[in-house]
Chain A
Amino acid sequence: MLTQDERNRIRAEAAHYDHPQAACVEALKIVQEHHRWVSDEHLKEIAALLDMSPEALDSVATFYNLIFRKPVGENVILLCDSVSCWIMGYEGIRAHLKEHLGVELGETTSDGKFTLLPMACLGTCDRGPAMMVGNELYRNLDNDKVDEILARYRHPSGA
């Protein structure tokens, strides 16, 4: 079930447009913000709120690769695999991340802390290799820096 807060925010977004369907991407983002991903049940609820069929909404949701239709970990790592980062050593970072986390691209660690995903470009080609964890952008990566960043997310209190 969507929370009252989610419903209110979705309705507020929909009020900006002539057709409530126009708010569908925002609505998906709101729900994802609360739940990290969009489940089938949530999708149907959003569709009903926006007067859409679940099919129409899901076609939008599945089109965007940053709307998650499967559960993801607490922190989503988006590792840039475009050309600049590739030149600057993306493959090494990728191997390191995979080994460190024990997952392949597209997978979530067994403790549910991280999901590792490839990303086409993070817009920081002058500081590659780069990745995002959650909403934070990290640049000029090397293996040590990656370890340090992940440790921070693993023990958020700093302990």
Chain B
Amino acid sequence: MATIYVDDRPYEVDPAKNLLEECLSKGLDLPYFCWHPALGSVGACRQCAVKQYRDENDQRGRIVMACMTPAMDGARISIRDKDAVQFRAGIIELLMSNHPHDCPVCDEGGECHLQDMTVMTGHNYRGYRFGKRTFTNQQLGPFINHEMNRCITCYRCVRYYRDYAGGKDLDAFASHNHVYFGRHEDGALENEFSGNLVEICPTGVFTDKTLKQHYTRKWDLQTAPSVCAHCSLGCNTIAGERYGQLRRILNRYNAQVNGYFLCDRGRFGYGFVNGDRRLRQPRLLQDGESRPVSGAEALKRTALLLGRQSRVIGIGSPRASVEANFALRTLVGSRNFFSGMAPGEEHLVARMLHVLRGAGVRTPSLCEVESADAVLVLGEDVTQTAPLLALAIRQAVKQAPRRQAMQLRIPRWDDAALNEVMQQQKGPLYIATPAGTRLDEAATQCFRGAPDDVARLGFAVARALDATAPPVRGLSREERAAVQAIAGALRKAERPVVVSGSGCGSEAVVDAAAQVARALGGAGTANLCFTAAECNSFGLGLLNAMGTAEAFQRVADGLVDTVVVLENDLYRRVGRASVEAMLASAHVVAIDHSATDTVAGAEVAFPSGTFAETEGTMVNNEGRAQRFYQVFVPQGEVKPAWSWLGELAQAAGRTELTGLRSPDDLLAALGRAVAAFEGLPERVAGASFRVNGEKVPRLSPRASGRTAVSANVNVHEPKPPEDPDSPLAFTMEGYPQQPPSPLITRFWAPGWNSVQSLNKFQAEVGGALAGGDPGMRLIEPVANGAAAYTDEIPPAFRRRAGEFLVVPLHHIFGSDEQSAVAPAVAQRSPGPYAALSPEDAQTLGVQDGEFVEIELDGGMFQLPALLMSSMTVGVLGVPVGIGSLRGVDLPARSRCRRV
């Protein structure tokens, strides 16, 4: 610790930080633009000028940039000094000389860092009376709007996009007064994390194009803390609504999970909430026709189906909350509760949970992956299946070269100097997958092979690390060399991480990743990161549900009268024939937020709320249980799934759910019933939680139009909706200051209207949120006990003539069921294809785009061939969740012929 003096007041600071960070951490207001906690300092904008004095006798001092000056012990600075104040006002005036006066029509207005800083420096009147330079804007695709005239040339966008996110297609052009940030030519920004430009840009150059289509000012949005529902990482988000429509997703900082950033699927995939596929009223299927009915009528019909004599089973869902799944489990009984995951995925989730809860491995948070200094990825295309994990790995490869650069005594925050030393050096990252991935460009070495060969590589690495692990026979010379290189890099690293998951559908790959992690040893070090298919895969996995296949078997055996399907489109899980057989031979009651094919075939369907209209808990890939809160009251008869289940039970005269009337009740019961959730109910701020006796408001005190918003219907001001289920309120009234971290509904502080106000919510800038980051880890390794190696090593992949191994290929845009129907995401989604190596294409005699036919699970599928030079020979890739190919467990062998 060091002591610095700011305007003659002493502060205890960390000497490894710079003066700007430390001033902000101490709550002092110092304006800045180019610095960002995740990007470090470059000293480009000159806005954070302060006066520094040599010692207490120095009366003159000199102007320095706070972001470029270390917080050294004994440093004396002044923020209030007249020269420094004048300097900062001058910089703003200069930056503003080309900035248009368009705040009223600018999407950033009201949450603009440039506005805030301009007010903070006191630059009120403009002396500049000449023409302003103007630019032509670019079409940057469905996510980002471009308005270059507003640019103040802070360079944050390219520093984030290129240096941090690894993007290639955004750069700074020209020089002087006409520096331009954009693409080489019009076109969608290719990087999967482009949406963060919206929050990185301090003004309105890059704004959210999806928000623009139903624009609402920040202060008019009703917002609540939410958790992303589009992959297994569970990034924290703030979801905003107005007039019954979800209007945007912003990042909600969680130092352990997503930090400052989201992926584009998470940010722009919310459109399904407002989509026309939503189910807003219960429906009954009668004589082959589905018609909307009242809730009462639907319940009446269901009461007959769920009666006491009826044999009822429940099928849960990895995209439904823990509470909803548990409510169904409680209603039907744990022996009659089935996971609803695809059988292969279900098996892998169980396997991964088993590994993570065993000895010798520990799963890292995303933040810990970022600080890993060697990474091995086995079988998983993380950019597509768990995008933010790829962003974390892109930071991890900078660890080793940065550590070396810092030996030159360059501070950690001095970004430009570190980059100069590091150049294009990258730390060890090894990737083994069936086909090329976007992360390959950052990798030390890539290995291509069928899932079994990927697994064998992993097992061999484990053996190279620990001679007591079982050996792998029959590796090629190249494979042996790769194994030695990987093992050497992992052994040398201080914080190695193995990344794998259910992405390529192989149990052997999951086992191999576990084997490497165990061989690395070092109990207590976070070393094994798994990803699963959906937002609550692990939460459902912890509920010990029965296997999905068994549910279908029971129905086929005539042992079931009624099936309750919770937020699950079964056509995505098992073959069409199986689902149709179930629909034909049992009464199916579906509860879902959208009209899926399962809903269409169900006898009764109830409309449930999406993540934005309900409250609940999801467990991410780290085993972190996180609460998401209802953002708004939905239109129509939409209710939370657990609420419908309670009503169903009551209507049928069943008592299983009696007394479980809220998410809190369900969570408490869950904590008692399932050991994995023990302690969680106590950690969650329940509905009765109050801050100073008050609820936390979802609306800002500046929300406009409450008295007029429904005046076309009735001039009397309506009573705001009540929220009996959470400590949040659907009003402007309530605790006006910062709530505890899990209940942050928006980032705002006096004088700080933009997302940069986050500084005021952190214990120290760039660190944990004040009071700790939200969420509770449910999975910790057992403290001791020997980690056993498995010796079930698969034989090398051998292709059979005329046959392919069909593997799933994932897409950030299109593979996730919910976000795929969001209009912006749908625009970026690829069409169906069958990817194969040029070599195989030649053998089959097909050209790119010509159709091939494959046979899977008894169904024939015709797909256009896509020649992929990185595809393993003998392997054929099909996109997950895209086109008609669904409900097939992959990998699977298939014949393939030219059509």
Q: Is the CB of A58 within 8 A of B424?
A: no
The reply to whether A63 and B174 form a contact with Cβ atoms under 8 Å apart is yes
- Bound-state CA distance A34–B262 (Å) is 46
Count residues of chain A with CB under 8 A from any CB of chain B.
Answer: 12
Q: Indicate whether A55 sits within 8 Å of B174 (C-beta atoms), given known contacts A19-B424, A40-B185.
A: no
Do B171 and A56 have beta carbons less than 8 Å apart?
yes
User: In the docked arrangement, what's the CA distance between A43 and B183, Å?
Assistant: 14
Using known A-B contacts A19-B424, A40-B185, A53-B184, determine if residue A58 contacts B168 with beta carbons closer than 8 Å.
Answer: no
A54 at the interface (CB under 8 A from B): yes
Query: Which residue of A has the minimal Cβ distance to B172?
Result: A59
A17-65 contacts to B, CB under 8 A, are 19, 40, 43, 53-56, 58-59, 62-63, 65
Instruction: Let me know if B171 and A55 touch, CB within 8 A.
Output: yes
Chain A residues contacting B175 (CB-CB under 8 Å) are 62-63, 65
Interface centre among B172, B180, B183, B184 (most CB of A within 10 A): B184
Measured between alpha carbons, how far is A43 from B168 in the docked complex, in Å? 15
* Contact A55 B184, beta carbon cutoff 8 Å: yes
Q: Are A56 and B174 in contact (CB under 8 A)?
A: no
Residue of A nearest to B183 (CB): A55
State whether the Cβ of B169 lies closer than 8 Å to any Cβ in chain A. Answer: yes
| 0 or 1 for each of B413-431: is its CB under 8 Å from A? (1 = yes) | 0000000000110000000
Please tell me if the beta carbons of B185 and A56 are within 8 angstroms of each other in the complex.
Answer: no
A54 and B183 alpha carbons, distance in the complex (Å):
9
Return the CB mask of B174-186 against A: 1 if under 8 Å, else 0.
1100001001110
B173 at the interface (CB under 8 A from A): yes
What is the CB-to-nearest-CB distance from A101 to chain B, in angstroms, rounded to a whole number?
Answer: 25
A62/B174 contact (C-beta < 8 A), A19-B424, A40-B185, A54-B184 known: yes
Determine how close the nearest CB of chain B comes to the CB of A39; give it in whole angstroms. 13
Residues of B within 8 A of A62 (CB): 173-175, 180
| Other-chain contact of A53, B169, B174, B180, B424 (Cβ < 8 Å) | B169
Please count how many residues in chain B sit with their CB below 8 Å of the partner chain's CB atoms.
14
Report if A55-B168 is in contact (Cβ < 8 Å); known contacts: A40-B185, A62-B174, A63-B174. yes
Inter-chain contacts of A19 with B (CB < 8 A): 423-424
Chain B residues lying within 8 Å of A58, measured Cβ to Cβ, are 171, 173, 184
Q: A102-120: contact bitstring with B at CB < 8 Å (1 yes, 0 no)?
A: 0000000000000000000
Least distance between B136 CB and chain A CB atoms (Å): 14
Q: With A and B bound together, what is the CA distance between A53 and B158 in angstroms?
A: 14
Q: Which of B161-214 contact A (CB under 8 A)?
A: 168-175, 180, 183-185
Q: Tell me the complex Cα distance, A58–B213, Å.
A: 32
Chain A residues with Cβ below 8 Å from B184 are 40, 43, 53-55, 58
A65 to B174, CA, bound (A): 8
> In whole angstroms, how far apart are the Cα atoms of A39 and B356 in the complex?
56
- Which residues of A are found within 8 Å of B424, using beta-carbon distances? 19
Interface string of B564-579 (1 = CB under 8 A from A): 0000000000000000
Binary contact readout A66-100 vs B (1 if CB under 8 angstroms, 0 otherwise): 00000000000000000000000000000000000
| In the bound complex, CA of A19 to CA of B423 (Å) | 10
Could you tell me the distance between the alpha carbons of A56 and B168 in the complex, rounded to whole angstroms?
7
A14 CB, nearest partner CB in chain B, Å: 15
Specify the chain A residue showing the minimal Cβ separation from B175.
A63
Contacts of A53 in B (CB 8 A): 168-169, 171, 184
Bound complex: CA A59 to CA B169 (Å): 11
When distances are taken between beta carbons in the complex, the residues of chain A under 8 Å from B174 are 62-63
Roughly how many angstroms separate A53 CA and B167 CA in the complex, as a whole number?
A: 10
Tell me which residues across on chain A come within 8 A of B173, comparing CB atoms.
58-59, 62-63
In the complex, A51→B185 CA distance in Å? Answer: 18
A56 contacts across to B, CB distance below 8 A? 168, 171
B369 CB to closest chain A CB (Å) equals: 27
Measured between alpha carbons, how far is A55 from B172 in the docked complex, in Å? 8
Q: How far is the CB of B725 from chain A (nearest CB, A)?
A: 49
The distance from the CB of A52 to the nearest CB of chain B, in whole angstroms, is 9
Residues from chain A with a CB closer than 8 A to the CB of B185 are 40, 54
Chain B residues with CB under 8 Å of A63's CB are: 173-175
Q: How far is the CA of A116 from the CA of B335 in the complex (A)?
A: 86
Taking the nearest CB of chain A, how far is it from the CB of B157, in angstroms? 12
Q: Which residues of B contact A54 (CB under 8 A)?
A: 184-185
Assembly CA distance A73 to B422 (angstroms): 42
In the assembled complex, the CB of A121 is this many whole angstroms from the nearest CB of chain B, namely 16
Query: A118 to nearest B CB, angstroms?
Result: 13
> Which of chain B's residues 138-173 have a Cβ closer than 8 Å to chain A?
168-173
| Distance, CA A53 to CA B162, complexed state (A) | 11
- Of all chain B residues, which has the CB nearest A57? B184
Cα distance A77–B423 in the bound complex, in angstroms: 38
Most buried by B among A43, A58, A59: A59
Quick one: which of A43, A55, A65 contacts B170, CB cutoff 8 A? A55
Which residues does chain A contribute within 8 Å of B169, judged by CB atoms?
Answer: 53, 55
Which of B174, B183, B185 has most chain A Cβ within 10 Å? B174
CA distance A62 to B171 in the complex (A): 11
Cβ–Cβ < 8 Å partners of A55 in chain B = 168-171, 183-184
In the assembled complex, the Cα of A59 lies from the Cα of B180 at a distance in Å of 9
Bound complex: CA A50 to CA B423 (Å) = 16
Instruction: List A residues 124-156 near B (Cβ within 8 Å).
Output: none
Whole-angstrom distance between the Cβ of B814 and the nearest chain A Cβ? 24
User: Inside 8 A of B171's CB, which chain A residues have their CB?
Assistant: 53, 55-56, 58-59
Contacts of B172 in A (CB 8 A): 59
CB distance from A48 to the nearest CB of B (A): 12
Question: Smallest distance from the beta carbon of A25 to chain B beta carbons, Å?
Answer: 14
A17 CA to B140 CA in the complex, in Å?
Answer: 34
Instruction: Provide the residues of chain B in CB contact with A40, threshold 8 Å.
Output: 184-185
Give bound CA distance, A92 to B424, whole Å: 50
Q: Once the chains are docked, how many angstroms separate the CA of A61 from the CA of B170?
A: 15
Docked pose: A43 CA to B172 CA in angstroms: 16
CA distance A65 to B178 in the complex (A): 12
> Min CB distance, A93 to chain B, in Å?
24
Contact partners of B423 in chain A: CB under 8 A: 19
**What is the distance, in angstroms, from B191's C-beta to the closest C-beta of chain A?**
11
Distance of A55 from chain B, by nearest CB (Å): 4
CA distance A40 to B183 in the complex (A): 13
User: Which of chain A's residues has its CB closest to B180's CB?
Assistant: A62
Q: What is the bound-complex CA distance between A70 and B185, given in angstroms?
A: 15
Output the least CB separation between A117 and chain B (Å).
15
**Most chain B C-beta atoms within 10 Å of own C-beta, residue among A19, A55, A58, A63:** A55
Q: Which residue of A lies closest to B174 (CB)?
A: A62
Q: Please name all residues of chain A whose beta carbon is closer than 8 Å to the beta carbon of B183 when the two chains form the complex.
A: 55
Q: How far is the CA of A21 from the CA of B863 in the complex (A)?
A: 40
Q: Which residues of A contact B168 (CB under 8 A)?
A: 53, 55-56
B184 to chain A: closest residue by CB? A54
Kindly report which residue of chain A lies nearest to residue B168, judged by CB atoms.
A53
Identify the closest chain B residue to A40 (Cβ).
B185
- Chain B residues positioned under 8 Å from A65 (CB to CB): 175
| Distance in Å: Cβ of B573 to nearest Cβ of chain A | 40
A54 to B185, CA, bound (A): 9
Which residue on chain B has the smallest CB distance to residue A19? B424
Cα A54 to Cα B170 with chains together (Å): 10
Minimum CB–CB distance for A132 against chain B, Å: 21
Q: How far is the CA of A11 from the CA of B187 in the complex (A)?
A: 30
CA distance A23 to B45 in the complex (A): 30
Q: Which residues of B contact A59 (CB under 8 A)?
A: 171-173
Distance from A45 Cβ to chain B, minimum over Cβ atoms (Å) = 13
Q: Determine the residue in chain A with the shortest Cβ distance to B423.
A: A19
Known: A53-B171, A56-B171. 4 other contacts (CB 8 A): A55-B169, A55-B183, A59-B171, A62-B173
Interface residues of A (CB under 8 A from B): 19, 40, 43, 53-56, 58-59, 62-63, 65
26 A-B contacts (beta carbon < 8 Å): A19-B424, A40-B184, A43-B184, A53-B168, A53-B169, A53-B171, A54-B185, A55-B169, A55-B170, A55-B171, A55-B183, A55-B184, A56-B168, A56-B171, A58-B171, A58-B173, A59-B171, A59-B172, A59-B173, A62-B173, A62-B174, A62-B175, A62-B180, A63-B173, A63-B174, A65-B175
Closest CB pairs A-B (n = 8): A53-B168, A55-B171, A59-B171, A54-B184, A62-B173, A62-B174, A55-B184, A63-B175
